[in-house]
Amino acid sequence: MDAEEWQAEQNRLDLVREKMQARIDEIEPEVSGTREQAAELRRRFWEEVTVNTSSDEDFEETFYTIKQQAAVLSERERRHRLLAQQWKSLNRLLPSPYFGRVDFLEDGLNSSEQIYIGVSSFIDEDGLSFLVYDWRTPIASLYYDHSPGTASYDTPGGRITGTMKLKRQYQIQNGQIRNMFDASVTIGDELLQQMLSKSADSQMKSIVATIQKEQNTIIRDDHSRLLIVQGAAGSGKTSAALQRVAYLLYKNRDTLKADQIVLFSPNPIFNSYVSSVLPELGEENMQQTTFQEYLEYWLGSSLSLEDPFDQIEYVLTAQAAQEYEARLQGMKYKASEAFLMALQSYAQWLGREGMLFKSLRFRDRDLITAERISSQFYSYDSSLRLANRVELLQKWLLKELSRIERQEREAAWVEEELDYLDNEQYAEVFAELHKDREVFDIAERYAEVYEKISHKRREDEGDFDFAEREKELLSQWIVKESFKPLRRSVRKLSFIDIHSLYVQLFDGEAGYREKTKEAEIPELWSEICQQTREKLERFELFYEDATPYLYLKELIEGVRTNTEIRHVFVDEGQDYSLFQYEYLKKLFPRARMTVLGDFGQAIFTQSTKLEGDDSLLHRLYGEDKATLIRLVRSYRSTREIVEFTKLLLADGAEIIPFERSGPKPLLARLESGEKRDIQILRDIAALQAEGFDSIAIITKTAAEAHEAYRSLLVLGGEVLQLITKETITFQKGVMIVPVYLAKGIEFDAVLIYDASPQTYSRENERKLLYTACTRAMHRLHLYTTGEWSPFVQALPVELYDQ
């Protein structure tokens, strides 16, 4: 680019920054001013209001003064919020106001407009000219979707067509243009090159300046009920998802708040890894959770739940266990659509017979027996849904409890309790009684009546002899207090024996067939039944049972829904079962769903295919409501690493590396474990000397990670961090991590601790090795002390160095 052009751009930049600075200076005093005003107003709120409620008029006046005062306060607060937002966004823009420009000549006009694009908009004093356009405005999509030539963009008013005369990218730091590129065919290959050659970080970065066309389609999809993104490892699925959240928040800023969006993450570390992207873009973070957190919330108080990490650890380490095969079959079956249907049929069966209840027990006796509850339940109209009948039953039980409560006041135990009340307790109860408006009113009325009858003037309530009445009131109070936990448990529907209802399902093949009409039962069903029952007897639940258990609970008790949430994002979507998807769909009935995943990385047993004719996910909301987008370009790793990793997968040919070069993956065979560990420590030192400061030693399991950690520590690797499922954040540095906890995360260099056939040879281990290797951005090393895993052996030798 010639010097003149460069200078012109720098001048423009200086001008825009001057205007920004002027705006900042202008609003700064106001920002602090309105904050103080609002704070002062809040402090003096009650001083300005005279509370007078003596007459109706006074009351009304007080009411209106309060209302008026509140309105002034909320207006100040609103103004402060807006100004503070503007101030923040200007300060964010100031060092680097924009990253792109397109010159667009709209059809029918005779001069082209220069459109500068940045992380938010900045408008000139005239209130009309955009000096910077927010990247989420319709016009900014020109930058992402087109190259110079014929171009168009969509607006709410229709499509605008024209010609793009120029497309330019900038790297601006502290107000200085460091680099400028004019893009021709693909946008920003140069800028993208630079971005991708940077080091990994403990926090994900926004990709706003280099969003690719296919990613832009994901970000701006406004119509799909279900948006499925199948994308190779490192193709920017998570990045696009977060940009999409920012886009949605911008586009629907009057109706959508950040807490109406929820992201399901694969593990807690991932939550922290992605948490800075939205704030970097000036948006609030959406809600982030894991599916496990949700299960724990609803089931954790009564059962001890296995988590997916323990489940996968079992799958990977317990092959020799006798019950292994059955457990595996159970995992697959319990994640399937067939089991979902079986549970639905079971619920219908329960509508006719077999419901199990718990007696309401009180002081070691049955107040209402399970049999009575059951016969009451089956006395309701059988055409009513289970949940509706449960609701009726709940009302009936509460009424029954009130009736029994009245009878109970005469019971001997109440008398005993009365006797046990010492003076202090008595005084407490009495004070409590007088606090209780209803009871107090009754006492008052009683006193008045007594007064009339006895023609005695009542002096004061303390002098009045309440003795008899008091006893009655106290008995009432004692029974009421004792019944409180019972009522609470009825309100919580604890009288339904969900535990036994789930167990009852696993009582053998004939019973199962009868209850569920299920035809295709796994071969090892009786072992599966036994395992499930044994676990539940200990009040524990396998991970594969947790969602079905909750689902059954809701079929009976009524579906829990969250109608606030408008968008659900599921990252690493291949690791959820169809069962879980059905569940999420029910839970968030008003939400659109975006699922991002890679079947190549499906390492859990309950995986779901995201694309292809045999993918059931498409049908979740009906096939016409689903959109599938495929991402095949991989941005994370160098070309050499992608060439190597893609052949680890059977159908890996679909992955296209981004043209960024580096050394080939390095295979190191050592004679013993100790020599391997020494070599690893040496390699780490060399990598660090090269400037790589995010290095991961990836193992297959947590057990292997522990072992590696211990032996590397002995050899002097004291700066290593061991990542476990409890880890919630990580720092840059060298870490040892089991592959399933490294999902979604990336490192400058990845060292595969043991790439031998003992660790990676079964088909389900192929994807583990793939997932582990694809975490690498710049360097990939594999180690073994014997043979190479067959997946490595199958690779052409020219793909790696030894």
Ligand X SMILES: Nc1ncnc2c1ncn2[C@@H]1O[C@H](COP(=O)(O)OP(=O)(O)OP(=O)(O)O)[C@@H](O)[C@H]1O
Question: Which of 231-239, 580-588, 716-724, 760-768 is the region at the interface with ligand X (rule: CB under 6 A)?
Answer: 231-239
* 734 touches 713 (CB < 8 A): no
Please, is 712 exposed, middle or buried when counting C-beta atoms within 10 Å of its C-beta (0-12, 13-18, 19+)?
buried
Between CA 778 and CA 801 the distance in angstroms is: 15
* Residue 508, phi-psi category: left (phi > 0), alpha (psi -120 to 50), beta (remainder): left
- Torsion angle, CA of 581/582/588/590, rounded to 10 degrees? 110
* 547: helix, strand or coil: helix
* 658 touches 639 (CB < 8 A): yes
Q: How many residues does the chain have?
A: 802
**235 known member of a binding site:** yes
* 178 touches 171 (CB < 8 A): yes
Q: Which of residues 133-152 bind ligand X (CB under 6 A)?
A: none
The answer to whether 238 contacts ligand X (rule: CB under 6 A) is yes
The answer to whether 387 contacts ligand X (rule: CB under 6 A) is no
**Contact residue for ligand X among 169, 239, 516, 756 (CB under 6 A):** 239
Between CA 721 and CA 52 the distance in angstroms is: 65
At 573, list the tokens: 């979507």
Smallest gap from Cβ 197 to ligand X, in A, equals 11
Question: For residue 463, which phi and psi values (nearest 5 degrees)?
Answer: -75, -20
**Contact residue for ligand X among 27, 357, 744, 791 (CB under 6 A):** 744
Binding-residue total with ligand X (CB under 6 A): 23
Smallest gap from Cβ 215 to ligand X, in A, equals 6
Q: Which of 739, 754, 763 is nearest to 786 (CA)?
A: 754
The answer to whether 231 contacts ligand X (rule: CB under 6 A) is yes
**Contact residue for ligand X among 216, 217, 235, 285 (CB under 6 A):** 235
**Contact mark string toward ligand X, 550..589, x via CB under 6 A:** ----------------------------------------
Please, is 777 exposed, middle or buried when counting C-beta atoms within 10 Å of its C-beta (0-12, 13-18, 19+)?
buried
Q: Which of residues 769-788 bind ligand X (CB under 6 A)?
A: 774
The answer to whether 210 contacts ligand X (rule: CB under 6 A) is yes
Q: Of 351 and 573, which has the nearer Cβ to ligand X?
A: 573
Smallest gap from Cβ 618 to ligand X, in A, equals 20
**Contact mark string toward ligand X, 504..543, x via CB under 6 A:** ----------------------------------------
**Contact residue for ligand X among 13, 183, 192, 261 (CB under 6 A):** 192
**232 known member of a binding site:** yes
Write the DSSP symbol of residue 625: G
Q: Of 101 and 389, which has the nearer Cβ to ligand X?
A: 101
**175 known member of a binding site:** no
The CA-to-CA distance between both ends of the chain, in Å, stands at: 43
At 289, list the tokens: 């959770």
Q: Of 268 and 744, which has the nearer Cβ to ligand X?
A: 744
Smallest gap from Cβ 643 to ligand X, in A, equals 16
Pairing of strands 666-669, 776-784: parallel
Question: Which of 176-184, 202-210, 452-460, 731-739 is the region at the interface with ligand X (rule: CB under 6 A)?
Answer: 202-210
Smallest gap from Cβ 231 to ligand X, in A, equals 5
**427 known member of a binding site:** no
Pairing of strands 360-362, 304-305: unpaired
Smallest gap from Cβ 224 to ligand X, in A, equals 19
The answer to whether 664 contacts ligand X (rule: CB under 6 A) is no
**Contact residue for ligand X among 134, 145, 598, 640 (CB under 6 A):** 598
Q: Please report, as a single letter, which amino acid is at residue 249.
A: L
**Contact residue for ligand X among 20, 233, 629, 667 (CB under 6 A):** 233
Question: Which of 153-161, 171-179, 229-237, 615-623 is the region at the interface with ligand X (rule: CB under 6 A)?
Answer: 229-237
Q: Of 80 and 766, which has the nearer Cβ to ligand X?
A: 766
The answer to whether 660 contacts ligand X (rule: CB under 6 A) is no
Of all helices (H) and strands (E), which one includes residue 390? helix 386-408
Smallest gap from Cβ 205 to ligand X, in A, equals 6
* 491 touches 395 (CB < 8 A): no
Smallest gap from Cβ 245 to ligand X, in A, equals 13
Q: What angle do CA 354, 359, 362 make, to 5 degrees?
A: 175
The answer to whether 330 contacts ligand X (rule: CB under 6 A) is no
Strand residues in 312-409 grouped as ranges (E): 360-362, 365-368
The closest residue (CB) to ligand X is: 236
Strand residues in 534-676 grouped as ranges (E): 540-541, 567-570, 592-597, 626-631, 633-634, 656-657, 666-669
Q: Which of residues 626-655 bind ligand X (CB under 6 A)?
A: 635-636
Question: Which of 87-95, 188-196, 304-312, 482-490 is the region at the interface with ligand X (rule: CB under 6 A)?
Answer: 188-196
Contact partners, residue 327, CB within 8 Å, separation at least 6: 314, 318, 321, 528, 531, 542
The answer to whether 237 contacts ligand X (rule: CB under 6 A) is yes
**231 known member of a binding site:** yes
The answer to whether 657 contacts ligand X (rule: CB under 6 A) is no
Question: Applying CB under 6 A, which residues contact ligand X?
Answer: 192, 195-196, 205, 207, 210-212, 215, 231, 233-239, 598, 635-636, 744, 746, 774
Specify binding-site residues for ATP. Answer: 231-238
